[in-house]
Structures are given as structure tokens and as C-alpha cells.
Structure 1
Amino acid sequence: MRKIIGFIFIIISFLVFYFTSEKALFAYENSKNIPKKTVEELPVISLSQNSIFYDRNNKPFYIPGSGENRINLKSSEIPQLVKDIFISTEDRYFYSHKGVDLFGVARAMMVNVSNSGIEQGASTITQQLARNLYLTHERSVERKVKEIEISLQLEKQFSKDQILTMYINTIYFANRNYGIEAASKAYFSKSVKDLSLAQTAFVCTIPNNPTLYDPFKNFDHSKKRQERILGILKEQGIITAKQYDVAIKEKIKLKTDSRVQEYPDYYSYVDYELKKILSGRKGKFLTSKLTNAQQAELRKLKTVDERVTYLQNQGLSIFTSLNPYVQEATVKAVNQGTLSTNTDGAAVVIRNNSHEIIALSGGRNYESQNLNRAYQDFRQPGSTIKPLLVYAPYIDYLGATPDTKVSADEYCKGTYCPKNDSGKEYGDVSLRTAMQNSYNTAAVRLYEQLTPGVAYRYLDKYKFEKISAKDRYEYGRALGGYDIGMSPLEMTSAYTTFGNDGVYYENSAIQRITLRDGTVVYENNPSSVRVYSSNTTNTMRSMLHSVVQNGTARRINMPLDYIGGKTGTTNDNTNLWFMGLTSNYTIGTWIGNKRPNQPIPKNYTVPPPQIIWRDIVQDTNLK
């Protein structure tokens, strides 16, 4: 008797709402005659969704969260079971009505009353989509009128399959998750296509009442509704009795997607590079490939930062050069290589011929959001600057050879009197000997003969970010004593020139960006500039090899097809560097304290940057 009274009350309330309002009746009757319109004539809606970052093997390595966690799926990617569940529980007559089904609402209310719960929605799927896309959730006649108009227009403009797909991608699954794919990853850490029958039904309980059926807060409520859904599926012949029994017995274990960044060092740089691309400061991002709705939204945004944020939340697929194996080895080498000195450190690995940044350590035990010392920390480069500012330009500009002589005796220019690291004088030595032993007085003499003006014509091609006006005329810059300095990434990138026949390429982590449907909106096309001639480059490679074979880096010499590099130490032992090359890779390493002027304790036989470099090469077999 109570059910009958309840049913009558609901029907009366429904009729009062719909049929006592002349506006609602008028809107419903007239909206039937709405002519078919194009998509562009509807209010443009572009829903945010998560971008996905892929490594070099096209495997996702990070999906950053945003305000709305959403991953849109194509119709073909949504399991039929999911579609069946929502049609069965929300809008059983979805395929027969025209968007608004008054009798269907009455039927849904009758079912809900007879089952003492909400088994079917009171609005059609089309109406719910109209509300989610274009309207608020306020309860008013005006809002319902608009909902009816938009619903009928949607039905004339889109197919049933398109409407159902949009609906499944837009509905709310609690805890900032929108759409079935995001929900599946959030609650079971896997794609919806990989869910069991029981798990699928469980996830699909949530949108009916995201607060009541929040799995984290009200698991029991969700489980009871899941069982009711399974019962409906069995009654309608969508699943068999055996499937029902198995699903009912399956224990539901939530496995939340923690969204931990496996490679925070590398992702930090990728995010930085992505912002440069999206802001127009690197390459060309093809906004013309976006949907009309996305382009319309983009035009509304006034600032570059707003545009960048918007584009980041449009479900981009970002394909990077990340080599997980090398990345893990690089991070491990930096973490272990800085233990003895209790310092920080960084390392960068670049593949020469493809100009790809394949690995990057941003600091000892680097954590997300920390200062990434690989590209955000600028330090005096010490003697690693000598090949770039002195030796290669001197050889290239003046036609010198490795056997050209230079004095390594005492040197003074006014009050500036640099000393060799040993404090000794060595007389006339060859350029090869001067570089492999890092004689300071020889390097300054060469720099003076070359002149700073000529030297910087070469160095400026690398576009170092922090070079000051003062850096351009003081002779101490020949020894790496800069006002601010260079980042490990900048230095490593510059040294790749010796692995690319004297041509400097802009090295990148991001290789291409696509929309979720595969449309390419960005492809890396590295800019390049010739810095040295082929002869100069070959000469420098020979001299860099001598540094490792017989010079300051001889303790890490190993039998590779090619090995070469340059060490660097700054005053008071505050920064230690090693820039090294193999046949195919350039690897730059640095260590120092968080406070730039704090000395590094000399409690080592082999400088830690060289050990870090050696460990990366040996552990990954980079050649």
C-alpha cells in the first residue's frame, strides 16, 4: 500500500512540474520542430582530459592529474557491457525515444518505487548529457526548459552511439574522476577494457549518485547497488546465470591509481619543454589541427599561461625520448656517486645523432617539484668551458694543430695572475698536453691571442642563458669563472657538437605530440648551426680522447670504440664536472653543494663526477 501511495505521489508531482508550466509544455512542443543544425551552431564545449606521457617505446610513464581527471574514449574503445549497463539502469528506452521521454520518466519512477531504490534515472541519457555539457544542476523550470530544447537538438545532430559515447565520457564518478576510463584507472589501476564483469558493474554504480556510491567512503552502498545491477543484467539476458553467480562471488578490491611519477627528474624537464612548445617558444604546435570547439575555447583565452594550461588539459599524447633503463641507471649513479661527499649532483644523457635527451637526473634523491639541478641550476663550469671557449675556437679560427706550442709558465695580466692547479710551471707545451692536463696559464694565453670577441662568436652559437656582459671581456672566463654559469643540460648539449661533426643541434626530450585520435600537432625538428669545421671537430675528438687516455680523466679510461671528455673544477673545489663522449652518446655530470660557495670535501681518489659517468656507461652499456 505504501508503495502505491508513493508512486501516486511521484506521478502527481511529476505532472504538476511538467504540465502546469506553460513554458515547459510550449518548449517541448516547439522543440520538436527544431531544424537539424551543424555541430558548430551548438554552444561549443571542449572538455578537459588528461594528457599522457610516453617513453621512447611508446609506453605510458605518467598521466598527470588535473582539476578534472578524464580520459576520453572512442565508442569502439568502450566495452559493450558498459553501454548495456547504463542503458539498462539509466534509460532503457534510449534507442526508441527522441531525447525526451515523458512516459519513460513515469516508467522509471514506477520501477524505482517498486524496488525501494533508484534503479532507473528520471531523465534520459540525452537529457543528462545536455545538463552535463551545457547547463548547471539547479532545479528550476527554466533550466528544465533549456534541457529539453538542447536534448532534442542533440538527438537531431548526433547519432545515438555518439550521444552514448559522449555521455559515458562526461558523467561523474566521484573523486574528480570523469568518464569510465579515468574511473577505472582511479579505482582499479587498469583500463576499463581489462575489468572483470564484477569490477565493471561496480564502477558503473557510481554516477547514479556519486556521493552515496563513492567507493572510498561508502563501499557497502556501492557493493549493494553493484549486485542490483548484476541482477538487472541477468533478468534482461545480457549476462548468463553462471556469469552472474561468478560476478556476485568475486571479491572487490580497490587498487587506487596513486599517480606516482616513476621518473620525476625526467618528467620535470619534459613538462618545462612542453610549456615552451605550447607557448610558441619552441617549434610549431599546430592549433589548426584541434577541433572547432577547442579552437573556439582557445580564442577566448587572453594570456599565454591560460592557453598553455588549457592545451595541457586537452588529452594530448606526448611522445618523449625517455629510455627507462638508462634513466634508472643515471638516477642511481648520481644518488650513489654523491654519498661520499654528501653533496648534490646531476647528470644528462644525450644520443648524439638523434639529438634526444634520453635520461636526466635532477639531483640526489630528486623529488617532484624540487629544483631540478640538471636544467634549473646554473654553476661555474670550471675547465669544462675550455674546449668550447678556447681550444676549439683557437684551432678553428687560427688553423692550429694539437702540436702547436703554447707557454704553460706563469701568467699575469694586470692584477690577474692565474695559477696552474699544481702551482707549477711547465714551459712550452703542445695544445694537446695543455688541454689533457688542464693547464690554466696555457688556456688564458690562448684566449688572449684569440681575443674574447672571436671566442664568443663561437660560444654564442650555443645560446647559454646566463652569460652576462661582464663575462664577455674578463680573461678569467677562459677558466670557467663565470658570474652565474651554465646548467649541466646546457653544457652536455654543447658537447654533443663534438659528436655531430661540429654541428650543434637543439637537443630535445619531446619528439612529437598528437591528439588522442592520433592527429599529429607537433613534431620535433631540431634547429642546427655549424660551430666548427669537420677538421677542427676531428682534432678536438682526438684531444678529448687524450684527456681520458693520459690526462685528468685517465682513471676512468675504458675500452670503448671511442671515449673522450673534459674535467672541470672551480675555485675552492666548489663544483666538480665531467663532460664525456662515447661513439654515440654525450653524458654530462656535475656535483656540488646546495650552497654554491661551499667547498666539496676532498675525500676521494677519483672525482665523483667521473665515477658517476663511468657507472652510467658501464651499467647501461652505452657505447
Structure 2
Amino acid sequence: MKKIIGFIIIIISFLVFYFTSQQAMMAYETSKHIPKKKVEELPVVSLSQNSVFYDRNNNPFYIPASGDNRINLKSSEIPQLVKDIFISTEDRYFYTHKGIDLFGVARAFMVNVSNSGIEQGASTITQQLSRNLYLTQARTVERKIKEIQISLQLEKQYSKDQILEMYINTIYFANRNYGIEAASKAYFSKSAKDLSIAQTAFVCTIPNNPTLYDPLRNFNNAKKRQERILGILRDQGKITEKQYTAAMKEKITLKKNSKTQEYPDYYSLVDVELQNILKGKKGKFKTNKLSEAQQKELKKLKTPGERVLYLQNQGLKIYTSLNPSVQQVTVSAVNRGTLSTNTQGAAVVIKNDTHEIIAISGGRNYEPHNLNRGFQSYRQPGSTIKPLLVYAPYIETFGATPDTKVNADNYCKGTYCPKNDSKKEYGDVTLRTAMQNSYNTAAVRLYEQLTPRIGYSYIDKFGFNKITNEDRVELGRALGGFNVGMSPLEMTEAYSTFGNNGVFYQNSAIKKITLRDGTVLYDNEPKSVRVYNPSTNETMRSMLNSVVKNGTARHINMPLNYIGGKTGTTNDNTNLWFMGLTSNYTIGTWIGNDKQRIPIPKNYSYPPTQRIWQSIVVNGQLY
């Protein structure tokens, strides 16, 4: 049986040799009569590759695979052993031929016959690259002629090292992995430069026949070919006898890279911000810094979505503000803080001086690709709106102080008759007392005197997305009864104004985007606008501090350099909020049900939002 198989292989190899050589001769003769091409006539191809996301410490935290998995290496970054393996097994005379190798066809024929199998292909590395870049894998005479013509032109246009670099970055390593680096991380969870000799030889078996040598499905086939490759390397002096013996003995254990999103809540925010940047909706993305080939490809694409997808597959390096330890603390606090009420929740952490979003929880036990409640869910903000829409504008407009008096008795205007939460009346009280105890009737009286027009002239600077025309005239908005509402991120950003001397900054998750070589394509430059004057801002910080020291948030008072905040509750206890500040951070928390009309059970001694906030501050050391 073995002799019969060997005979069949010999016949097939002979046919491959005959037809390939005939096609090569035809193409070569044809190419003599083709006018000499200019270098520019063969289009430069931009090899797609995955983008990488980095945390604030410049450590990668996610490499999304949008389809094919690609990570390109420069020639200097490709291990020499990898180059040796592919030249030894695919194209031994790569550095001496001009793109096609007729004698190589004959050599491949003899090697395949002696091994009773297809060990060497008849195509050169340059020819294989031609197919990978410009052609299909169809086995036709026309395609073979084009392949040889392109190979001859590639040899004119690029150096041998450039061709080898492109080849190693484009060859297929099975399971949607292209290039040695992507394959190394996919099968061994480490970079190609960190692979052992045995591991390198094992990975390099795959491209010869990605199905036959698929390490996940045909491990034994790959292992047998790895051993043959090690023998070739030894025989050609690429490794020593000692290295060969050690590599043969080394056990190959695959360690698949699952690409788990370690911080899915935060990545969800970054992904949306990245799309806005690439679409030109946020900041300035410098497409003129892309390569000529990339710019040409970009111009061919018609829709913003196509352009975004293309750019995301150009090996961008996205540097974010993610603080991994604070992110873990935030997610844990929301997960634990919503258990007793069996509700959903969200939290956002902003670093005031750098205007960075350093952590976000998208919900209890948040799963990738789901609704991120931290920035995609809009709810009525309750009394957390009072400092922004009522108290700060009132103090600035009328020159009021914390000791200015306001009436906190029952109030009615037409059919609108709001009550204090306690249903009690308190007579004339100071602004400080009214805000720290969240008296509703006092806030409505102040808002009526201020007028909604003036109130909105302040909060419009925060850029809330869902404010309606009806919201702009109704007095009840002073208590947070908006038609749609605000997201936790929006509210936290607005409150960060009190941590920036009355100036509102556009906070971001992305700091910088570069190409793989370090070319900067985007630098975050936060836009800013003054909302309150410094005097008003200091007054508000004092009153927010009173809320925590003596008011509705007194349960979480701590001896910090600064602590302040405001509680919020909506009708029927359907939403709970707490917006709070320390010396350097603004943290916003929310809990509620996805079905908005379902009330939150009152089975707590003090609101879970405050408990979540306190946990984030203490465990994250956000003082």
C-alpha cells in the first residue's frame, strides 16, 4: 500500500513539475514583451492588523479580533529562526533568484519523491506573496501567469528583506490567524520573540497546509512536521545538535489566547468614543499621517461605517485612561451594592485634574456588547439636578449666600403642588439647610424666581443629550422630573465642574491614538467652558460638603481633605442616585430597574448608591 501511495505521489509531483515549469516558461517569455513597469504601477498594499488597547500604565488590556487576527512585525522584529525556517522549507534559494525559480520546481519534485509526500512547494516565497496580496488561490493557467508577472515586479519594487517581511506577515496560520505574531499569541499566548526553538518550529509548520497542520484539530500532524523541520534546521547548521536534541524532547503544550475582555464595561465606552473620533465627531484624527496606501484605501470607502472598520484594522494603538485597580473596585462595588435590592446599577469615576474617565461600571455582572448603563441608560436624576439647575445659578444670578433664606412650606401653582419628602413644612430656612436636607418646595420656589430660561443657560453648557422642549418650561424639572433624563456619565461629568473651579471639561476615556511606529494620529485636547464663577463654585462646594456632614448623605461622612455630594430619588423610589466629590475625584452612582416603573425595595438602612460610592472611594483610595 505504501509503495502504491508513493507511486501516486510521484506521478502527481511530476505533473506539478511539468505544468508549473511550462507555465513559468510561458509567463517568463511573455514578460519579456511587456513594457517595463514603473515601481508605482504595482499598488502598495496596506496589511490589515488588529488594534491594541492600552490602560493608563501603557499595558495592553484588549486586542479585539474583528474577523481575521493580524499583528504585523517589522523585519527587525521577526526572529531570525522564523526566517530560517521558511527559507529552508519553502524557498531555499530565496536570496539568489529573481522571483521565480525553475530549478526550484525540479528540486521540489525530487524532495517530494524522496519523502513520498508534498514537503516542498514549487512556488517561491515571492510567488506566494503575489497570491496573498493581489490574487486568488484559483489554480488556473491565467492566474499562474499573472502570479509570475507580479512576482517579477515585486522583486524590482522591494528588497528581499521587505518581501520576506510581508510574506511572514501575510501567510495563514489557521483559525483566522495571519502572520507569525498573531499565531504565536493565539497558540502559545506569547510573542514570537519569546517562543522556544521547539515552539517556533511547531508554529511554523502550519502555513504549509493550514488544514492538515491545524494544531487545534490535527496536533499530531503538526508535531510530526515540526520534527522534520527541526531536522532540516540541524542539517543546515541553523541550530546545533544540542539545541536539536533539547527541542525534540520539549513537550508542546498549547496555551490558547481566548482574548477575554477583562474590562468589558470600560472597553464598551472606549469603543464608542473611538468610533466618534474616527468619524470626526470628537477631536481631530489626522488621516494625513497615515501611509499613502492607507490614505488611498480610505478614499475608496463610501460610508463612515466602512471607514471606521477599515481604520480599526490598521494596527492602531489606543492609549486610554483606564485605571485597572479602580475599575475592578468600581465593578465589584456595583455588583455587591445591588444584590440586596436585586436591581441594576452603574458607577463612573472621573479624575478631576486630568479630565479622564478612569473607571465605569455598565451594570451588575455586565456582559460584553450589552447595554452599558453607565453611559447608554438615561434616567430622571431626581434631586441631584438641584445644585446644577437651581442652587448654583441662583447664587450666581442673585449674589446669594448659603445663609440666604427661602421658604420651605407647602407650594402650589395651579395643579402643580410638590411636597417635601417628609410631607412636612419647615418655614424659612437657609439655602444651606434647604439643599442639605433636599427640601423640594424650597428648590421649586428658587427655580421659579430664577426662571427656567436662566437655569438652562447654565446647564446647557454640560451638553445633556436628552433634554426636550417641554423640559425647558416645566417647574418640576427643578426636582429632576425630566421627560427622559441623564446618564450616570453625563451627571458625573457635570458634577466634576465643582472639582475644577467652576469650569466644565469634556472628559474622555481615550488619551492618544498612534500607528504602530509611534506616529500620533490623535491627541486628546479637552474642550472647556466656564459654567460658574470661582466664588459661586466655592460656595457650592461648601454646601455640598454640608449634605455629607449633616444632611441626606451623613451616613457616609469620612474625615477626608474634602468630601461633598448630593443625593437623588425619583417618584415611587424608582431611581436612586448619589453624586459625590473628593479632593481629586468625582464619582457618580445610580441604581434602579431596567423596567423603569418598578420601585426599588426599601430594605436598606441608607441608600445603596451611597454605600457603593463609599466602597469605591475607600477601596480605590480615591481621596
TM-score higher than 0.5 here?
A: yes
How much does 1:14 deviate? Answer: 2.8
Structure-1 residue corresponding to 2:91: 91
How much does 1:110 deviate? Answer: 1.2
Q: Note the alpha carbon deviations across 1:39-95, whole angstroms, 9 max, x for none.
A: xx3224222211000000000000001211100111111111101000000000001
What are the residue-to-residue correspondences of 1:329-478 with 2, within 5 Å? 329-478=329-478
Structure-2 residue corresponding to 1:274: 274
Q: Note the alpha carbon deviations across 1:245-274, whole angstroms, 9 max, x for none.
A: 111111111111111100000000000100
Determine which of 12, 24, 29 is the counterpart of 1:26: 29
Determine which of 17, 37, 57 is the counterpart of 2:39: 37
Query: Matched residue of 2:39: which SS?
Result: coil
CA contact (8 A) 2:100 2:152 kept: yes
Query: Matched residue of 1:181: which SS?
Result: helix
What are the residue-to-residue correspondences of 1:470-549 with 2, within 5 Å? 470-549=470-549
Q: Are the structure 2 counterparts of residues 419 and 16 from structure 1 closer, same or farther at C-alpha, using a change threshold of 3 Å?
A: closer
Is 1:619 aligned to residue 619 of structure 2?
yes
CA contact (8 A) 2:553 2:567 kept: yes
Query: Matched residue of 1:182: which SS?
Result: helix
Structure-2 residue corresponding to 1:314: 314
Query: Matched residue of 1:49: which SS?
Result: coil
What are the residue-to-residue correspondences of 1:111-190 with 2, within 5 Å? 111-190=111-190
Q: Note the alpha carbon deviations across 1:305-328, whole angstroms, 9 max, x for none.
A: 111111111110000000000000
What are the residue-to-residue correspondences of 1:582-601 with 2, within 5 Å? 582-601=582-601
How much does 1:27 deviate? Answer: 2.6
| Whole-Å separation in 1 of the counterparts to 2:374 and 2:345 | 8
Q: Are the structure 2 counterparts of residues 532 and 16 from structure 1 closer, same or farther at C-alpha, using a change threshold of 3 Å?
A: closer
Structure-2 residue corresponding to 1:202: 202
Q: Note the alpha carbon deviations across 1:209-268, whole angstroms, 9 max, x for none.
A: 001000111111000000000000000010011111111111111111111100000000
Q: Note the alpha carbon deviations across 1:371-404, whole angstroms, 9 max, x for none.
A: 1000000000000000000001111111111111
| Whole-Å separation in 2 of the counterparts to 1:8 and 1:427 | 105
CA contact (8 A) 2:21 2:102 kept: no
CA contact (8 A) 1:44 1:296 kept: no
Structure-2 residue corresponding to 1:580: 580
CA contact (8 A) 2:9 2:117 kept: no
Question: Which residue identity does 1:88 align to in structure 2?
Answer: S
Structure-1 residue corresponding to 2:18: 15
Structure-2 residue corresponding to 1:82: 82
Q: Are the structure 2 counterparts of residues 431 and 393 from structure 1 closer, same or farther at C-alpha, using a change threshold of 3 Å?
A: same
CA contact (8 A) 2:13 2:112 kept: no
Question: Which residue identity does 1:599 align to in structure 2?
Answer: P
Q: Are the structure 2 counterparts of residues 6 and 313 from structure 1 closer, same or farther at C-alpha, using a change threshold of 3 Å?
A: closer
CA contact (8 A) 2:23 2:141 kept: no
Question: Which residue identity does 1:396 align to in structure 2?
Answer: E
What are the residue-to-residue correspondences of 1:545-560 with 2, within 5 Å? 545-560=545-560
Question: Which residue identity does 2:340 align to in structure 1?
Answer: S
| Whole-Å separation in 1 of the counterparts to 2:340 and 2:108 | 71
CA contact (8 A) 1:334 1:363 kept: yes
CA contact (8 A) 1:172 1:210 kept: yes
What are the residue-to-residue correspondences of 1:177-256 with 2, within 5 Å? 177-256=177-256
TM-score normalised over the length of structure 2: 0.97
Q: Are the structure 2 counterparts of residues 325 and 16 from structure 1 closer, same or farther at C-alpha, using a change threshold of 3 Å?
A: closer
How much does 1:36 deviate? Answer: 5.2
CA contact (8 A) 2:568 2:578 kept: yes
How much does 1:28 deviate? Answer: 4.3
| Whole-Å separation in 1 of the counterparts to 2:415 and 2:586 | 38
CA contact (8 A) 1:19 1:25 kept: no
CA contact (8 A) 1:79 1:192 kept: yes
How much does 1:194 deviate? Answer: 1.0
Q: Note the alpha carbon deviations across 1:275-330, whole angstroms, 9 max, x for none.
A: 10001110011111111111111111111111111111111000000000000000
How much does 1:21 deviate? Answer: 8.4
| Whole-Å separation in 1 of the counterparts to 2:552 and 2:56 | 35
| Whole-Å separation in 1 of the counterparts to 2:24 and 2:223 | 39
How much does 1:5 deviate? Answer: 9.2
Structure-1 residue corresponding to 2:265: 265
Question: Which residue identity does 1:213 align to in structure 2?
Answer: Y
Structure-1 residue corresponding to 2:303: 303
Query: Matched residue of 1:357: which SS?
Result: strand
Q: Note the alpha carbon deviations across 1:550-583, whole angstroms, 9 max, x for none.
A: 1100110001110000000000000000000000
Q: Note the alpha carbon deviations across 1:426-477, whole angstroms, 9 max, x for none.
A: 1111111100000000000000000000000101000100111110001110
Q: Note the alpha carbon deviations across 1:349-392, whole angstroms, 9 max, x for none.
A: 00001000000000001010111000000000000000000001
Question: Which residue identity does 1:175 align to in structure 2?
Answer: N
Question: Which residue identity does 2:462 align to in structure 1?
Answer: Y
TM-score normalised over the length of structure 1: 0.97
| Whole-Å separation in 1 of the counterparts to 2:15 and 2:26 | 18
Structure-1 residue corresponding to 2:62: 62
| Whole-Å separation in 2 of the counterparts to 1:225 and 1:118 | 11
Task: Mark the runs of 5 or more structure 1 residues left unpaired by the alignment.
Answer: none
Question: Which residue identity does 1:176 align to in structure 2?
Answer: R
Query: Matched residue of 1:65: which SS?
Result: coil
How much does 1:522 deviate? Answer: 0.4
CA contact (8 A) 1:36 1:153 kept: no
| Whole-Å separation in 2 of the counterparts to 1:108 and 1:80 | 24
Q: Are the structure 2 counterparts of residues 234 and 42 from structure 1 closer, same or farther at C-alpha, using a change threshold of 3 Å?
A: same
Query: Matched residue of 2:386: which SS?
Result: helix
Q: Are the structure 2 counterparts of residues 9 and 513 from structure 1 closer, same or farther at C-alpha, using a change threshold of 3 Å?
A: closer
Between stretches 19-28 and 194-203, larger displacement belongs to 19-28
Structure-1 residue corresponding to 2:101: 101
| Whole-Å separation in 2 of the counterparts to 1:546 and 1:21 | 86
Identity of aligned residues (%): 74
CA contact (8 A) 1:18 1:24 kept: no
CA contact (8 A) 2:576 2:609 kept: yes
Between stretches 320-329 and 114-123, larger displacement belongs to 114-123
CA contact (8 A) 1:569 1:575 kept: yes
| Whole-Å separation in 2 of the counterparts to 1:6 and 1:185 | 35
How much does 1:606 deviate? Answer: 1.2
Q: Are the structure 2 counterparts of residues 66 and 84 from structure 1 closer, same or farther at C-alpha, using a change threshold of 3 Å?
A: same
Task: Mark the runs of 5 or more structure 2 residues left unpaired by the alignment.
Answer: none
| Whole-Å separation in 2 of the counterparts to 1:366 and 1:234 | 52
How much does 1:10 deviate? Answer: 3.5
CA contact (8 A) 1:579 1:589 kept: yes
How many pairs are equivalent?
620
How much does 1:24 deviate? Answer: 2.4
Structure-2 residue corresponding to 1:605: 605
Q: Note the alpha carbon deviations across 1:148-185, whole angstroms, 9 max, x for none.
A: 11111111111111110000000000110000011111
Query: Matched residue of 1:521: which SS?
Result: strand
